[in-house]
Copies of this chain bind each other. A is one copy, B any other.
Amino acid sequence: MADVAGVTGEQLKSYIERIERLEEEKKALAEDVKEVYAEAKGNGFDTKVMRKLISLRKMNASDRAEQEELLDLYKTAIGMA
């Protein structure tokens, strides 16, 4: 590996390769997620609603309840309920 104008090729390559390995692992996990959704869909589950459920589960119960209440309030206020 060349040392070019102060750039240590060895060090740079090790950073690059570490990042590439991590990105590979991330890509594999994204594939796994897709497979689980496909399996659930195959068993009749609605994946869009599953995604909503998962995003709701990221919130704590009180924030979730507060947001759902406010959403209902806004719907009513604009005549959408």
Contact = CB atoms under 8 A, between A and B. Distances in A.
Contacts of A12: 40, 45, 50, 74, 77-78
Interface size class, chain A: 35 or more
- Oligomeric state, in copies: 4
Query: Would you list the 3 A-B pairs with minimal beta carbon distance, nearest first?
Result: A9-B77, A7-B77, A15-B40
Interface of A: 1-5, 7-9, 11-13, 15-16, 18-20, 22-23, 25-26, 29-30, 32-33, 36-37, 39-40, 43, 45-46, 48-50, 52-54, 56-57, 67, 70-71, 73-80
15 contacts: A4-B73, A4-B77, A7-B45, A7-B73, A9-B76, A9-B77, A9-B79, A15-B36, A15-B40, A15-B45, A16-B57, A19-B54, A22-B36, A26-B29, A56-B75
